Structure 1
Amino acid sequence: MKKAIVLLSGGMDSTTVLYIAKAEGYEVYALSFNYGQRHKKELDCARRIADRAGVQEHIIVKTNMNAWGGSALTDDKIDVPDRDESSLDIPITYVPARNMIFLSYAASYAEAVGAQDIFIGVSEVDYSGYVDCRQEFIDAMENAINMGTVCAVEKGKRIKIQAPLVHMKKADEIKLGVSLGVDYGLTWTCYRGEEEACGTCDSCVLRLKAFEEARLRDEVRYKA
């Protein structure tokens, strides 16, 4: 069976991508990160999702991206803001080069287990404008990975970064996920990571909008 590394945050997008990989016949190796994020609740969700999906292996990498902060998700001195629909700026919830770091780990993991596919749940539709969620970035990272791995350079076994949601609206993503058996009630999206989702941060607002457009009920509990 062909193998794939799936970057699994415990959120809606990464869970959908995991089920896509399984539906396409991959043996899934899930990779999550404890990177110093304040919403560590998503890691508990990632564990439950990986267990429910029956992945081959689930590894949680611990790294301290909170050591330098620079994001509301990793710096306790910066508050997580509510979504501002009028703003054209990249939100302070952007974590510097996060997907670049995650994909580098995934490339190492892929080479170690003999996987030639990495799945990531990025989208440049219905998103926060993060620069590391664009197709151009994915293409550049794939090229870099294949320039810097023995499996690609010496053995001709190139690694492909699969981003099946990159051009998909979140409402369509939810409909697809439901058809594949995703239980979105197990996922966590809120940046604040409290007992209940806030309903007002950037991530919550995008999620709620998607469920409304999909005409489906979101089973996650919200404060607002």
Structure 2
Amino acid sequence: MSDKAVIIYSGGMDSFTVLHHALSKGLKPCALSFDYGQRHSKELKYAENVCRTLNIEHTLVDITSINQLLAGSSLTSDIPIPEGHYEEPSMQSTVVPNRNMILLSLAIGHAVSIGANKVFYGAHSGDHAIYPDCRPEFVKKMNDVSQIANYDAVDICTPYLSNDKGEILADGLRMGLDYSQTWTCYNGRELACGQCGACQERLEAFEVNGKTDPLEYEAS
């Protein structure tokens, strides 16, 4: 059985923890990041820095050309990033149509080509309300397809599918991870905004763990 695993690695908190989870299981991670035109592409620089520090294979793929097919998301189009809690209906504007199905399809193909039999991504329970492609039923169906789409079956692994961001952070803190090496804010400015749903969920995770977020935020 191969010890290689493809990690869909955005540079955010969740995928950062997933990457180290795979390492803790003795797997050899091959990090795969995507530039899909997200306005918070700053996260990709964080991903690059982490992989360089850990001496982990890192592939960055430019898929911005498909944006003409995926209009309507505030993450990729000229639409304001909503402020407020992550589960508010306004956050639905941050959905990128079919994003995880596209990224998983590419990651599965990459896994087959390098002889890996696992693809990890950071779906978690805090995403279930807003993002259909992070829900258990989606993961199950995609995994079913991934078993038959190629001659070599690939497992889709979501170690935190039933956990919220606070629990993911708790696991990362147990592993001694430094979350200053991650970027979460949906705005790609110099400092995190602290107001978008992604920032609020991150700050709540640190609060429930009795910790202070090491990132610097804009003054409110």
TM interval, short-chain normalised: over 0.9
Q: What is the distance in 2 between the residues matched to 1:142 and 1:86?
A: 26
| Structure 1 equivalent of residue 162 of structure 2 | 167
| Structure 2 equivalent of residue 176 of structure 1 | 171
**Equivalent residues, number:** 216
Report which stretch shifted further, 108-117 or 170-179: 170-179
Deviation at 1:53, TM superposition (A): 2.7
Q: Which runs of 4+ in 1 moved over 6 A?
A: none
- Contact preservation (8 Å) 1:165, 1:173: yes
Q: What is the distance in 1 between the residues matched to 2:86 and 2:17?
A: 25
| Structure 2 equivalent of residue 214 of structure 1 | 209
Deviation at 1:86, TM superposition (A): 7.6
Deviation at 1:87, TM superposition (A): 3.3
Q: TM-score when scaled to structure 2?
A: 0.93
Alignment of 1:41-190 (within 5 A): 41-55=42-56, 57-64=57-64, 65-68=66-69, 69-76=71-78, 78-84=79-85, 87-88=88-89, 91-125=92-126, 129-151=130-152, 158-190=153-185
- Contact preservation (8 Å) 1:32, 1:58: yes
| Structure 2 equivalent of residue 155 of structure 1 | none
- 1:110-138 Cα distance to aligned partner (Å, 9 max, x none): 00111111110011236652100111111
Alignment of 1:19-30 (within 5 A): 19-30=20-31
- 1:80-122 Cα distance to aligned partner (Å, 9 max, x none): 1102578346620111111101100110110011111111001
Q: What is the distance in 1 between the residues matched to 2:36 and 2:44?
A: 10
Q: What is the distance in 2 between the residues matched to 1:85 and 1:14?
A: 18
Structure 2 unmatched runs, 5+: none
Instruction: Name the CA shift for 1:92/1:144 in 2 (closer, same or farther; >3 Å).
Output: same
Task: Give the root-mean-square deviation of aligned CA atoms.
Answer: 1.6
Alignment of 1:184-203 (within 5 A): 184-203=179-198
Instruction: Name the CA shift for 1:132/1:46 in 2 (closer, same or farther; >3 Å).
Output: same
- Contact preservation (8 Å) 1:37, 1:66: no
Q: What is the distance in 2 between the residues matched to 1:43 and 1:10?
A: 6
Q: What is the distance in 2 between the residues matched to 1:195 and 1:16?
A: 23
Q: What is the distance in 1 between the residues matched to 2:96 and 2:22?
A: 26
- 1:120-179 Cα distance to aligned partner (Å, 9 max, x none): 00112366521001111111111112221121xxxxxx2111101111121121121122
| Structure 1 equivalent of residue 8 of structure 2 | 7
